Structure 1
């Protein structure tokens, strides 16, 4: 899933959680949920792709074992802190990221592709070719060629304009 997809799902869940508690989402909570939705990729992708410390971009912080440990430690720290920390918002963002990374493979019945959830107990999923990983980035470029329907409408409008300007078009 793309980063903005994680962000949208996380914010919607955070918003529902706040509304269920009869309150509005706070600015600090919104920042915490936004950070939580991106956190697993902000850690795993650079450690795997740039520094080659991890085997894939979905291992360490994409694991439910790491999530449980990290959120548990943050909860203990939040209880000892005198400041109010939006841990719930961060947890919603973080866990929604893991859930959304799992939905597509689970719906397709590819259970091996969600083995990252139990890393390092299970080995990570097989990594696709790097070219395949970045193919979707290339598809985001704006294409200078417009779809035929848009081009056809534009050409028709130009023909009508020329006919009208030349006086060959009757007005109603």
Structure 2
């Protein structure tokens, strides 16, 4: 799945959870946390595999549920200790949505061997092409039904984000207004 697809899936899940569990709209800090969580596995695994050759695959270390659970437990624990539990939960929702979203196509098509990253290092990874870098992969995008689904999810997430009051943007607007007012007073 592409980064925008991960962002859409994570935000939709967190927005739903926030409404259902906390009975409120997602806040700006939680929205940033879920956004970071949705990208975290690729921010670690892809460079370590594609650029530095440290990992055998762009889906291994942080795509593994073993690693994901440990990291999420630590983040949620620390966030709760710091009095910011919703931020920790938002990160965990974003992060945990990522490996599952990556596996949807393999699951639906019955290519279960490509889900081995979920249990890495206990399960052996299939061979992946790690020779192409970021730019080559982006330039090689094909418009498939799965790619179209991601575009639909992005559109849906954008609508939900609007219904949620555009968290992050609303906070940025507030900061800009406050900054302008302070600047005008001086």
TM range (shorter): 0.7 to 0.9
Partners of 1:7 and 1:37 within 8 A in 2: yes
5+ unaligned residues in a row in structure 2: which ranges?
A: 143-186
Cα shift at 1:72? 1.7
- The structure that has the greater radius of gyration is 1
Aligned CA RMSD, in angstroms, stands at 2.1
5+ unaligned residues in a row in structure 1: which ranges?
A: 141-172
The DSSP-based 3-state class of the residue aligned with 1:120 is coil
Cα shift at 1:80? 3.0
Which segments of structure 1 move beyond 4 Å, counting only runs of 4 or more?
none
Deviations 1:54-101 (Å, cap 9, x if unpaired)? Answer: 1111000000000111112223323333x4150110011011111100
TM-score, normalization: structure 1? Answer: 0.74
Partners of 1:114 and 1:125 within 8 A in 2: no
Question: Structure 2 matches for 1:72-91, cutoff 5 A?
Answer: 72-81=73-82, 83-85=83-85, 86-91=87-92
TM-score, normalization: structure 2? Answer: 0.69
The size of the alignment, in residue pairs, is 139
Match of 1:137 among 119, 136, 139: 139
Match of 1:125 in 2: 126
Deviations 1:83-142 (Å, cap 9, x if unpaired)? Answer: 4150110011011111100110000111100000000001112103745x94652457xx
Question: How has the CA–CA distance of structure 1 residues 54 and 26 changed in structure 2, closer, same or farther, with 3 Å as cutoff?
Answer: same
